[in-house]
Amino acid sequence: MMLTPRFEEALVYAARVHAAQARKVTGVPYISHLLAVAGIALEYGAGEDGAIAALLHDAPEDQGGRGRLEDIRHRFGDAVAAIVEACTDTFETPKPPWRARKEAYIAGVVHKDPESRLVSAADKLANALTIISSLSREGDRLWTFFKGGKEGTLWYYRALVEAYRAAGTSPIVEDLDRVVGEMERLAGGG
């Protein structure tokens, strides 16, 4: 598969939308996460719509809610917007309580279409890899950056693995399971 100029347009759009945003632990420009998710999604077989959605998956949640989703729909089409919507756990500002949002997201995994699950799993794999890397530098202080703390974060990632697996196993789910297992081991929780 070759990517078209739509992907380039989405990359520029994502860079602009998230320009003032940084990763919460490292302070690295947020676009690094979006590039990682798009790369992982492509490596595991996403089509162009999935790769574009991977670049844009956090835009509505972090940068404009439903209005941002409608802008994405207008610029990149219904298929991309549907994947982005499936990867969004809230459009509300302020966000609802963390645990309730995460429980609802997990419960919805089985109902997502395969491309949305792939992008969602790519996001979680990218995040889990960052957590592992950050644990080596930050130690237990890392968990103070997460609303769920250590226990909640470990619960969330393990529950996601089980939800993805219930929807149908795939190479990305198996790799996420291994990475989450390593995260649990490093955190002393598994």
Tokens of 25: 């632990």
Q: What is the pLDDT of residues 48-57, one digit of tens each?
A: 999 999 999 9
- Sign, CA dihedral 166-178-54-130, equals positive
Give the residue, 137 or 87, on which the prediction is more confident: 87
Select 5-187's CATH number: 3.40.640.10, 1.20.1260.10, 1.10.3210.10, 1.20.1280.290.
Answer: 1.10.3210.10
DSSP conformational letter for 188: T
DSSP conformational letter for 94: S
pLDDT band at 189 (very low <50, low <70, confident <90, very high): low
The angle at the Cα of 99, spanning 93 to 101, to the nearest 5 degrees, equals 45
Task: Give the three-class secondary structure for 16.
Answer: helix
Q: What is the pLDDT of residues 69-100, one digit of tens each?
A: 999 999 999 999 999 999 999 998 888 999 99
What CA–CA distance (Å, rounded) separates 175 from 4? 28
pLDDT reading at 42 higher than 60: yes
Other Cβ atoms within 10 Å of 95 Cβ, number: 14
Residue ranges per domain, the chain?
A: 5-187
How confident is the model over 117-132, as a mean pLDDT? 97
- Return the closest-CA partner of residue 101 out of 87, 117, 83: 87
What CA–CA distance (Å, rounded) separates 56 from 142? 26
Q: What is the pLDDT of residues 165-186, one digit of tens each?
A: 999 989 999 999 999 999 999 9
10 Å CB burial of residue 150 (0-12, 13-18, 19+) is middle
The pLDDT value recorded for residue 156 is 98
Q: Which of 35-44, 104-113, 133-142 is the least confident region?
A: 133-142
Q: What is the pLDDT of residues 6-31, one digit of tens each?
A: 999 999 999 999 999 999 888 899 99
